[in-house]
């Protein structure tokens, strides 16, 4: 999760640091939000493209989908949802959580089982913060037949 926060911070810094006089006047920041559920196929056919649907909860009306954090490590994929949170002074946020579904396309190019780790938040136990993931293993077959 610390990687997610660092990447989000760096991206926000780059996007908002064009004017030196405006460094302390940010109108938004990026935040990684927990994933509630995922729709995945039972298996992938090598060479095919699949839509992966992800549902998460936007805490207020100031949250908007920005992008996915997507990290590849061999056959493992770590996925998180990144939201833009607007903080403009004259904007009133409505604290009404809303369920949102977004998707990305996955191209199954390998022939080994893929392991997806979907970020579901953090849990603190005895002063130690640990990332929580929903882990899905999806085998790859050579054809649908």
Number of structural domains the chain divides into: 1
Q: Give the structural domain span for 103.
A: 2-141
- pLDDT category at 81 given cuts 50, 70, 90 is very high
pLDDT of residue 53: 98
Instruction: State residue 20's pLDDT score.
Output: 43
Residue 40 has pLDDT above 90, yes or no: yes
Residue 19 has pLDDT above 80, yes or no: no
Q: Please say whether the beta carbons of 14 and 6 come within 8 A.
A: no
126 burial type by CB count under 10 A (0-12 exposed, 13-18 middle, 19+ buried): exposed
pLDDT at 56 over 60: yes
Q: Considering the entire predicted model, what is its pTM?
A: 0.79
Whether 41 contacts 50, CB under 8 Å: yes
* 13 has a pLDDT exceeding 60: no
Q: How far apart are the first and last CA of the chain?
A: 40
> For residue range 20-39, what is the model confidence (pLDDT) as tens digits?
444 455 689 999 999 999 99
Cβ-Cβ contacts under 8 Å for 7 (sequence gap 6 or more): 69
């Amino acid at each position: 999760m610390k990687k997610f926060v660092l990447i989000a911070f760096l991206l926000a810094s780059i996007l908002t640091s064009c004017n030196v006089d405006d460094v302390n006047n940010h109108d938004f920041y990026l935040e990684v939000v927990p994933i509630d559920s995922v729709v995945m196929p039972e298996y992938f056919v090598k060479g095919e493209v699949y839509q992966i649907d992800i549902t998460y909860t936007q805490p207020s009306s100031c949250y908007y989908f920005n992008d996915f954090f997507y990290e590849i490590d061999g056959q493992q994929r770590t996925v998180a949802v990144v939201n833009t949170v607007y903080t403009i002074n004259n904007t009133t946020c409505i604290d009404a959580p809303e369920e949102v579904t977004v998707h990305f396309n996955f191209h199954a190019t390998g022939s080994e089982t893929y392991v997806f780790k979907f970020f579901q938040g953090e849990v603190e136990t005895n002063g130690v913060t640990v990332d929580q993931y929903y882990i899905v293993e999806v085998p790859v077959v050579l054809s649908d037949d």
